[in-house]
Structure 1
């Protein structure tokens, strides 16, 4: 994992040998978030799906529930959120040869979170493209 800095955000990327649609499904399936997100125990969202303006609650790995709002969505490509009123991570997938590039970004002030994003991407790869 080699983080990049772009547009004032840290980005980590991973090539995954799976269809972009399969990775997108994992990125937007709240039931899957605890399986790939090391800091997530569970989540609920109004309307049941990731959509711009949707509000919900994410429960951290230590059991603390935090409110969130989905701030931006490009269906099939990327989504971002604010957690407890703070701009947080963005999640995305881009088509690539032999699969896709999955990526996550963190705000400039949160480089310590990059290893967590790397773990999440590795887990998504294991879920989407099992060996």
Structure 2
């Protein structure tokens, strides 16, 4: 079953990490550009509504990248990227499983999305906003 949330598609689906709520948004940019924005830690505060700063040794994440993110403008939390393969990455924040991130190809562009654990469904509007920001950043990079 899929729903619309502010122009973004939301559905409950099986992922490699179990059932997750998926938030997707179409992007008029290549999947590689979207992936670049998703994995570039210099961009996280630009597209992540809850992230205001990032500290890590890796500008572009890979599996095992660690660091910390500042959320709500004040609280620093440690993170670790647990998986990072082309077009999908997952992480833990403060040692808790957090959102998954992905990009998919589609005709004429791509799709960006987030995988949200079922107990965190209230985070879907934040992810929908992040999708919109990622789309805008990706389109700017290709302009």
Q: TM range, normalised to the smaller chain? A: over 0.9
Contact 1:30 1:42 in 2 (8 A): no
Question: Structure 2 regions of 5+ residues with no counterpart?
Answer: 1-7
How big is each residue's C-alpha offset from its partner over 1:17-45, in whole Å with a ceiling of 9 and x where there is no partner? Answer: 10111111110111111111000011122
> Are the structure 2 counterparts of residues 47 and 32 from structure 1 closer, same or farther at C-alpha, using a change threshold of 3 Å?
closer
Partner of 1:2: 9
> CA separation in 2, counterparts of 1:60 and 1:101?
26
Question: Structure 1 regions of 5+ residues with no counterpart?
Answer: none
Partner of 2:4: none
Question: Does residue 111 of the first structure (1) align with residue 111 of the second (2)?
Answer: no
Partner of 1:14: 25
- Aligned counterpart for 1:81 among listed residues 83, 87, 91: 91
How big is each residue's C-alpha offset from its partner over 1:74-126, in whole Å with a ceiling of 9 and x where there is no partner? Answer: 13x11010000100001110111000011111111000000000000001111
User: Where in structure 1 do 4 or more consecutive aligned residues deviate above 4 Å?
Assistant: none
Contact 1:10 1:111 in 2 (8 A): yes
Query: TM-score, structure 2 length as denominator?
Result: 0.85
The RMSD of aligned alpha carbons is: 1.4
Aligned residues: 130
Query: TM-score, structure 1 length as denominator?
Result: 0.93
Contact 2:42 2:59 in 1 (8 A): no
- Aligned counterpart for 1:32 among listed residues 43, 46, 49: 43
